[in-house]
Structure 1
Amino acid sequence: MAKSKEKKNLRGRAGRMQGGRGSGRGNKGYVRLWGRHAVEAALKNPGRSHRKLWATREGIDSLDGELPEHFPLEYAEVTDLARMVARDAPHQGLVLECDPLEDILLAEVMDVDATRPILVLDQVTDPHNVGALLRSAAAFNAAAIVTQDRHAPPESGVVAKSASGALETVPWVRVVNLARALEEMAEAGYWRLGLAGEAEADFADALPAGPIAVVLGAEGEGMRHNVAQHCDALARLPISAVMESLNVSNAGAIALYAIATRSG
């Protein structure tokens, strides 16, 4: 493929392809990603093991970098790629099958930099929302997102596409018990601030100066009672009375912006 010699190699670890085509899901536990940003970020992620890339020639030319020599690549038509991904998914001429990312422990992200917030999601199950929250977490330098493994979407092409590359850069910690995870954060010195529409305090006024974990509940139901009890305080975003609530991904972005611009 004709690419500029100045572009760096895409560094991911290529692997041997197993299985055939699917309809938006990877084979044998693999993850199938699509779209330029998601695929390019995965190819550049040294923590990814790749199985195979299907692409149009235009899709390959759109990538910012060179594929490693002998990378498992198969050229395909747009219609062929459309059959490999979720219905009507904008694959942009690129479909990558790879291994899931390795699990990350909560202690690992808390040890890195306590000045960076942690985003905790309680039963946020829409993959588009989780992907959008990953993107906001990357934009505002959050340390990680934390979800309960049974009440969150799996790693997928939909999450990756919505995250626009952030799935590869923002640690995603999956825990068995969210309440216990919040206890661990408290023990590590994090102030746990939950977003709740019924709270009296405004979010910006409730922000502490030190390490913080922001807890978001699912749309409609909000945070579960036990999770709310494990927050140090609850606060609301001061939105207009003409609107009952915000989409959870929008609320998360606003909260992360408030943390990034807080004084003190």
Structure 2
Amino acid sequence: MTVSDWVTGFHAVRAALESGSVSEVWLATERRDGRGRELEVRCRALDVSVKRVARRDLDALDAGAHQGVAARVAEGRAPGDEGALEALLDSLSKPPLLLIVEGVTDPRNLGACMRSAEASGAHAVVVPRSRSAPLTPAARKVASGAAERLPLIMVANLARTLRWLAQRGVMRVGLAGEGDELLWSVDLRGGCALLLGAEDSGLRRLTREHCDHLARLPMAGEAESLNVSVTAGIALFEAVRQRRGG
């Protein structure tokens, strides 16, 4: 058993159950309240086994933040690779919308980005294989089920992937505070990949050089930047607005 096989917290566990990816649920021995009983009933309806365990067993998965519940996610939910990304693009009948994040090492930020991406209807989240947060229980919990529904693609060489995306006709739009155009002025209706970097360091120079546009948000206050997941949500839903003709 590895920690990354589990999701914790009631909301994330319920979302994973509905996705059909759960093989087993652990409930803390003392969780015999309404929420615990309701979850047990749902597990029985889905033919998912429930095991009562000591709180320390749950602490080993997600110390102090598990709410007394965890679910083992079935195999086959591992991140995809370049081949999976190619297969995904080949399968689409409409322009792809991708979120690419680099330098994000906090699993909770990764989970929040995945939640925003799934909510917007994006087709995948792409991250570099190195120097990126793993899909931990904390990430899955914040993702609130998005990690079970949305492909996470880990690539060995981000610059090479960006060149390949350009060959596939996917426009690459980097988000940066010093961008030379506002995001609203960029046409996001075609296939596009939105690129974000870590909150403190932003996009790397090499990544910026592979962007077709470097755009910024119209910051009006004194804050110089937003959390990466907040920026992701704003950018993704701007693409949604444009694609719906809003």
Q: Does the pair score TM above 0.5?
A: yes
Q: Give the TM-score category using the shorter length.
A: 0.7 to 0.9
Which of 172, 186, 197 is matched with 1:206 structurally?
186
**Structure 2 counterpart of 1:88:** 64
**Do the aligned partners of residues 72 and 62 (structure 1) sit closer, same or farther apart at CA in structure 2, a change above 3 Å counting?**
closer
Find the aligned partners of 2:188 and 2:123 in 1 and give their Cα distance: 17
% identical equivalent positions:
34
Change (3 A) 1:193 1:63: farther
Shift of 1:148: 0.7
The answer to whether the aligner puts 1:35 opposite 2:6 as a matched pair is no
The 5-angstrom pairing of residues 18-97 of structure 1 reads 26=3, 31-46=5-20, 48=21, 50=23, 52-55=24-27, 56-58=31-33, 59-62=36-39, 65-67=42-44, 71-76=48-53, 79-80=55-56, 82-89=58-65, 91-97=66-72
**Shift of residue 116 of structure 1?**
4.0
Aligned partner of 1:125 in structure 2 is 105
Q: In 1, Cα distance between the equivalents of 2:131 and 2:16?
A: 25
Q: Give ranges in structure 1 of 5+ residues lacking alignment.
A: 1-18, 20-24
Higher RCO, 1 vs 2 (CA within 8 Å, ≥6 residues apart): 2
2 CA distance for matches of 1:69 and 1:101? 19
Query: Helix, strand or coil for the counterpart of 1:119?
Result: strand
2:114 maps to 1:134: yes
Higher helix proportion (structure 1 or 2)? 2
Counterpart of 2:89 (choices 110, 113, 135) is 110
TM-score when scaled to structure 1? 0.80
In structure 2, the partner of 1:4 is none
* Count of residue correspondences: 234
Which among 195, 215, 224 is matched to residue 175 of structure 2? Answer: 195
Moved more, 206-215 or 253-262: 206-215
C-alpha separation in 2, matches of 1:36 and 1:60: 12
Mapped partners of 1:175, 1:142: distance in 2: 18
**8 Å contact from structure 2 (residues 114, 147) kept in 1:** yes
Find the partner of 1:253 among 209, 233, 242.
Answer: 233
- Measured after TM superposition, the shift of residue 219 of structure 1 is 1.2
Q: What is the distance in 1 between the residues matched to 2:12 and 2:123?
A: 20
For residues 45 and 156 of structure 1, the distance between their equivalents in structure 2, rounded to whole angstroms, comes to 18
CA distance in 2, matches of 1:108, 1:64: 38
